Chain A
Amino acid sequence: MRMWLATTMLCLPGVANAQSAAPDPVASSAQGDLSVTIYNNDLALIQDTRQLALPRGRSRQEFADVSAQIRPETVTLTAAGAGIIEQNFDYDLLSPQTLMNKSVGQSVTLVRTNPATGAETREAARVLANNGGTIVQVGDRIEVLDRNTGRVVFPSLPANLRARPTLSVTLDSANAGTRPATLNYLSRGLGWKADYVALFDEKAGKLDVQGWITLTNTTGTTFNAAKTLLVAGAVGTADGGNRPSFYGGRGTPGPRGNQPGTETARREQLGDFYLYPLAERTTIANAQTKQVSFLDVAGAPAAKSYFYRNPWLQKLDEAVSVDTVLKFSSSREGGLGDALPAGTVRVYMRDARGAPQFIGESEIPHTPMGSKLALKTGEAFDVKILPTVEKRERISDERWRTTMRYTLTNARAQGVTVELAQAGLERWWHDTKITDESQPSTRADADEAVWQVAVPANGTASVTATFDTRF
């Protein structure tokens, strides 16, 4: 195999110039002084102040290195002493196919190589049409272009074909000179949430919690040395943001005992939202997940409890584990003492050798200070319940009498109390009655009756209840 090095390598004035002018995408980004404000619902506001050298009169300015997921309709540019004539967002991408389309009627060069000698011959050709195949005229011959016709060399690139979508603004400046210009726009692809590390000491009834802000950048663009502000909230957007759903409401599965708080945290607020500014400028690289600490609390009181909710008329063949629930508060007194932005709480406990082990995680919504939290972390291996229907009979045309038995077992060496909820008591009619029960229940709401069932160590307990219902 012989290797030919084209002599053209040595003298390429045009290429050499372009090379020295080519900006290194990282070392010298076109971005200016950046401020990035990130919301929870895949939305960010980006403010980019660049030094713009404007001539007097009209000029067209291109803005490279804006977010690849820019929402172009949200762009505003402010520059002192200059008015905006028009803004363009061009996304006609440069590719062989589009290049050929724009070259119809133009001249190109066909370079052919003699396979035997390697000698190259050049011919001028004219592109006649490009409809599912390219027709070229070479001298007085008409040919359909294929690989063997030769290499097509285009003299120039059409102005409006872009390597990547490009924002350009036409400005009318009263006088020439360099001035700061501020570009504001919204972008998708930036988001953040909170992640909490909670180390639970069951014996001491204490919880250590660290909160981290986790921000992710999937825009395809790196934001260099950005002043970063995180807003704990999903601002309304025309195309609908998705808000995480919250507390307890009707029909929400999850343990009982969540209650939003009414205290105000000592943090900067903007309207209804808490703000989390990062202390220093940071570079948010493309495809990066970045975490910054915002909360560190040691020794907050916390307790473990057990919960089970039985859907109406559910009976099981085999006992199932009840939920293990971690209860704590975000209050100033006896709690974490802060508002908690929406995110995931991961709970750890120390094993017999003292190493923290993961025991489960739960998502929380934006949680005001002073809230009570009851988070399911998992299910108890040793505490189980078997709900069964003992008896179900029709007592009149429109009423049924149903006797349920709930058998609870505890294989632990300590007694436990299980909060047992029978759900589904309200279905349009509000006259469901419990006519008989082995221990008193509280009717937490129209839909649920709740028993606190004490199950002795290595023992069994059972609850029976008879319901008078319309269904």
Chain B
Amino acid sequence: MRRVLRWGMALLVGALASAAPAQTLSPAPDRVAVTIYRAPLRAPDQAIDRAWLQGYALITEQRRVTIPAGRTTLRFEGVAAGILPESAIVTGLPQGVREKNLDADLLSPRTLYAGSFGRPVTIRRTIAKRIVEEAAIVRSGPDGAAILQTRDGFLAADCGPSQDALVYNRVPPTLAAKPTLSVELDSPTAVSVTVTLSYLAWGFDWQANYVATLRPDGQSADLLAWVTLASSDTTSFADAETMVVAGAVKREGSAPNPTWNVADESLTFRCFAQPIVPAPAAVFAPPPLPAPAPMAFEADIVVTGTRLRRAMVQQEDLGDLKLYRVPDRTTVAALAQKQVALLDRAAVPVSIVYVSTVDSGGDADAPRITLRLRNRTDQGLGVPLPAGPVALFQPRGDTALLIGEGAIADKAVGEEVEAGVADATQVTIESAHPDSGKDWEAYRLTARNANPYPVRFEARFAGEDLPRMSRMTETLTRKDGKAVWSVEIPANGTRSFGYRIKDSD
């Protein structure tokens, strides 16, 4: 029954489209390029939220179209669902564009009913497996659904003993299945041209992921980085030239949460109050349109990547940003995530440092295991490093064990890169307050190492505390605005540092 109805609807829609005057349809792009930008406010250590991708993409499509002479509406199908219509740019048309339109008045149970106001419909009543049909006219709006006029008089649908459904005989002509971008143009002659359509669309995201595997010497690591890109759009872009952009790009808007502000497009048959006897039959409600559920994500995850031929993205400068180009055309699939290699460097010199921050009251944080390296060519690196999480592994026999995970912000060439990956368990810091005077306090820090090998330890003080410190048992160095006590603690050894600090007021 229902199948027949759908069939009828499909035929109607088809008839409608062909009847519309002077329309040219471009069903899909011939070539497409997708440039993905990171979610503007997502921190480097914050994972991509696949249920709500808050980044965006610039999509550039090439479409071959044949335009008739005179005034035409050129409709573009197969654009991203998250399109920002105000960002659409159309070039390559012979006479330019008269106007661009994005129509988003969509066909739904609610708009179908609203658009049938005053028009004939058929009530289909099901009672005890018997189906009876009766002609009627819609007399209410969708908020007061559904008051209908029949030969007998006026009635409310689905409020009697039968289960009622409405059968329509046409689709209101302005309603479209999907938001549709179109341009109106005048062409002096019929012409075949290649049109470039570009636009921004929410619902994409990407990040870099770094994997550092320490070498047995503990002084260097193999560094591997991936670009992870994701799309929550319902449109797939096949064989796309794919790029990602690193760096902070200013956006004025933000990605809408797919679960918010979803207009209720279903149609509810309201009834009279019925307080005493509940309805015996399940209340019939028309099925809502099969909207793309973001929850259905997990089923569609695609992990691409090959260990055999590691195709690297290629980096170029884009103004003050960094652009990474995926070497081969690839498919940016709907509701999918993809990974491409960003970086693969062997034996990059690194150091593992245990870092603790000391406040002006002498209290020290627990030491944190920190991976440190210099992003320089002469140190085996020297490439822009886009923000992302860092995982640190240590070899153990044939495998490698995870030591911890941290994150780095965007790092330019020449910068020192640090990622705190875990709290230390075998290196500890103790802070003591042995003495105080009229306007000073004395503190002593004791750092202990329970490991059977020496470790590098750093205690960091705020830079403006240094001028107030005196009687220091060791010399501090200045680094990045901080005063640093940097020391090597021998295997199973202890080091300590005493100082006085003047009270600030």
List B residues 107-145 near A (Cβ within 8 Å). 115, 117-120, 122, 127-137, 139-141, 143-145
By a CB distance below 8 angstroms, the chain A residues around B161 are 112-113, 115, 147-148, 150-151
State which of A81-89, A175-183, A284-292, A329-337 sits at the interface with chain B.
A284-292
Q: Report Cα–Cα, A75/B27, bound state, in Å.
A: 44
Shortest distance between the CB of B84 and any CB in chain A (Å): 9
Tell me the smallest distance from the CB of A190 to a CB of chain B, in Å.
15
- Decide: A8 and B101 in contact? CB cutoff 8 A: no
Pick from A163, A344, A357: contact of B323, CB below 8 A: A357
**A383 at the binding interface (Cβ < 8 Å):** yes
Within B132-170, the residues touching A (CB, 8 Å) are: 132-137, 139-141, 143-145, 147, 149-156, 159-162
For B120, give its contact among A2, A19, A411 (CB under 8 Å). Answer: A19
A113–B127 touching, CB < 8 Å: yes
A150 contacts which chain B residues (CB < 8 A)? 160-161
A159 lies within 8 A of chain B by Cβ: no
In chain A, positions 258-290 with a C-beta closer than 8 Å to chain B are 280, 282, 285-290
Which one of B141, B321, B414, B480 has the greatest number of beta carbons of chain A within 10 Å? B321
Q: Does A310 contact B (CB under 8 A)?
A: no
How many Å from the CB of B60 to the closest CB on chain A?
A: 6
Which residues 151-175 of A have a CB within 8 angstroms of B?
Answer: 151-157, 163-164
- Determine which of B137, B318, B482, B505 lies in contact with A349 in the assembled complex, contact meaning CB atoms within 8 Å: B318
Chain B positions 150-193 with a Cβ under 8 Å from a chain A Cβ:
150-156, 159-162, 172-174
Measured in the bound complex, the distance between the Cα atoms of B128 and A387 in whole Å is 79
Asked if A290 and B414 sit within 8 Å, CB to CB, the answer is no
Judge whether B463 and A390 touch: CB under 8 Å.
Answer: yes
On chain B, the residues within 8 Å of A346 by CB distance are 87, 200
Which of the segments A94-102, A235-243, A420-428, A435-443 contacts the partner chain? A94-102
Q: In the complex, what distance in Å separates the CA atom of A193 from the CA atom of B84?
A: 14
- Which of B275-283, B295-303, B329-337, B422-430 forms contacts with chain A? B275-283
Do B85 and A93 have beta carbons less than 8 Å apart? no
| Interface residues in B216-274 (C-beta closer than 8 Å to A) | 243, 245-252, 270-274
B105 adjacent to chain A (CB < 8 Å): yes
Whether A361 pairs with B147 at a CB distance below 8 angstroms is: no
Question: CA–CA, A22 to B170, complex, Å?
Answer: 14
A152 cross-chain contacts in B, Cβ below 8 A: 155-156, 159-160, 272
* Chain A CB within 8 A of B312 CB: no
Which of B103, B200, B277 makes the CB contact (< 8 A) with A285? B103
Contact between B412 and A96 (Cβ–Cβ < 8 Å)?
Answer: no
Is B151 within 8 A of A291, CB to CB? no
Cβ contact within 8 Å between B147 and A99: yes
Residues on A with C-beta less than 8 A from B136 are 15
Does B37 count as interface, using CB distance less than 8 angstroms? yes
Residue from the list B130, B154, B249 in contact with A358, Cβ < 8 A: B249
**How many whole Å from B268's CB to the nearest CB in chain A?**
11
Instruction: Tell me the complex Cα distance, A452–B198, Å.
Output: 38
A4-B130 CB under 8 A given contacts A145-B274, A381-B410: yes
B86 at the interface (CB under 8 A from A): yes
Whether the Cβ atoms of A111 and B250 lie closer than 8 Å is no
With contacts A22-B118, A285-B101, A304-B319 taken as known, whether A151 is within 8 angstroms of B139 at the C-beta atoms is no
**Stretch of B92-100, B345-353, B361-369, B389-397 lying at the A interface:** B92-100
A146 touches B318 (CB 8 A): no
B318, A357: Cβ atoms under 8 Å? yes
A394 lies within 8 A of chain B by Cβ: yes
Q: Identify which of B147, B247, B272 contacts A321 (C-beta below 8 A).
A: B247
A residues in contact with B149, CB < 8 Å: 14-15, 18
Q: How far is the CA of A318 from the CA of B479 in the complex (A)?
A: 11
Interface string of A379-409 (1 = CB under 8 A from B): 1111110111111111000000000010101
CB-based contact A378/B321 at 8 Å: yes
What 1/0 flags go to A127-148 for Cβ under 8 Å of B? Answer: 0001011100000000011111
- Please tell me if the beta carbons of A25 and B172 are within 8 angstroms of each other in the complex: yes
Contact status A360-B249, CB under 8 Å: yes
How far in angstroms is the closest Cβ of chain A from B386?
8
Of all chain A residues, the one with the shortest Cβ separation from B131 is A3
Query: Does A355 lie at the interface of the complex (its beta carbon under 8 Å from any beta carbon of B)?
Result: yes
A155's closest neighbor in chain B, by CB? B153
In whole angstroms, how far apart are the Cα atoms of A152 and B200 in the complex? 53
B415 at the interface (CB under 8 A from A): yes
A22-B119, A154-B154 as given contacts; A380 in contact with B247, CB under 8 Å:
yes
Closest residue of B by beta carbon distance from A118 = B130
B273 is contacted by which of A4, A93, A130 (Cβ under 8 Å)? A130
B316 within 8 A of A: yes
A51 at the binding interface (Cβ < 8 Å): no
A356–B89 Cα distance when bound, in Å, is 11
| B97 with A5: CB separation less than 8 A | no
- Of B128, B280, B468, B481, which is in contact with the most chain A CB atoms at under 10 Å from its CB? B481
Contact yes or no, B412 A382, CB < 8 A: yes
Given that A96-B271, A324-B320, A360-B249 are contacting pairs, would A26 and B174 also be in contact in the complex, using a CB cutoff of 8 Å?
yes
Contact of A405 with B481 at beta-carbon distance under 8 Å, contacts A151-B162, A394-B505 already known: yes
For B122, B141, B279, B464, which residue has the most chain A Cβ atoms within 10 angstroms? B464
Q: Report whether B155 and A289 are in contact in the complex, using a CB–CB cutoff of 8 Å.
A: no
Residue ID in chain A nearest B89 by CB atoms: A197
Q: Which residues of A contact B247 (CB under 8 A)?
A: 321, 378-381
Q: Does A359 contact B (CB under 8 A)?
A: yes
Q: From A116, which residue of chain B is reached at the shortest CB distance? A: B128
Chain B residues near A14 (CB, 8 Å)?
149, 151
Residues in B whose Cβ lies below 8 Å from that of A393: 467-468
User: Is B487 an interface position by the 8 A CB rule?
Assistant: no
Query: Given A151-B162, A361-B252, are A8 and B134 neighbors across the interface (CB < 8 Å)?
Result: yes
Residue pair A145, B87 in contact (C-beta under 8 Å): no
**One of B135, B147, B152, B505 near A96 (C-beta < 8 A):** B147
Given A15-B136, A134-B273, A151-B160: A411 and B412 within 8 A (CB)?
yes
Name the one of A5, A12, A98, A210 contacting B151, with C-beta atoms under 8 angstroms: A12
Question: Which single residue of chain A is at the shortest CB-CB distance from B123?
Answer: A6
Taking a contact as CB atoms under 8 Å apart, the answer to whether B323 and A288 are in contact is no
In the complex, are the beta carbons of B141 and A164 less than 8 A apart?
yes
- The complex places the Cα of A393 from the Cα of B133 at a distance, in Å, of 90
- CB within 8 Å of B: which of A273-328? 280, 282, 285-293, 304, 315-321, 324
A195 near B: Cβ within 8 Å? yes
Interface flag for B33 (CB, 8 Å): yes
Provide the residues of chain A in CB contact with B118, threshold 8 Å: 18, 22-23
- Report if B207 contacts A (CB, 8 A): no
B159–A151 touching, CB < 8 Å: yes
- A 351-385 binary contact with B (CB < 8 Å = 1; else 0): 11001111111110000000000001111111110
Q: Provide the bound-state CA to CA distance between A280 and B139, in Å.
A: 36
CB neighbours of B250 from chain A (8 A): 360-362, 376-379
- B58 located at the interface, meaning its Cβ lies under 8 Å from any Cβ of chain A in the complex: yes
Q: Is the CB of B412 within 8 A of A133?
A: no
- B13 / chain A contacts, CB cutoff of 8 Å: none
When chains A and B are docked, how far (Å) is the Cα of A25 from the Cα of B171? 12
Interface assignment of A37: CB less than 8 Å from any CB of chain B? no
A317 and B153 CA atoms in complex are apart in Å by: 77
Residues of A with C-beta under 8 A to B197: none
Distance in angstroms between the alpha carbons of A195 and B252 in the assembled complex: 12
Please tell me if the beta carbons of A19 and B119 are within 8 angstroms of each other in the complex: yes
Instruction: Write out, one digit per residue, whether chain B residues 402-431 have a CB within 8 A of any chain A CB (1) or not (0).
Output: 000000011011110000000000000000
- B131–A19 contact, CB under 8 A? no
A200 to B104, CA, bound (A): 32
Q: Does A222 contact B (CB under 8 A)?
A: yes
Contacts of A391 in B (CB 8 A): 463-464, 466-467
17 further interface pairs, Cβ-Cβ under 8 Å (given A18-B137, A133-B273, A150-B161): A12-B135, A27-B173, A96-B159, A109-B152, A111-B160, A148-B277, A151-B159, A212-B100, A287-B104, A290-B102, A359-B319, A378-B320, A381-B410, A383-B320, A384-B412, A384-B415, A390-B464
Q: List 12 A-B contacts (CB under 8 A).
A: A3-B133, A4-B130, A4-B133, A14-B151, A25-B172, A27-B173, A95-B145, A109-B153, A133-B274, A147-B159, A288-B102, A360-B249
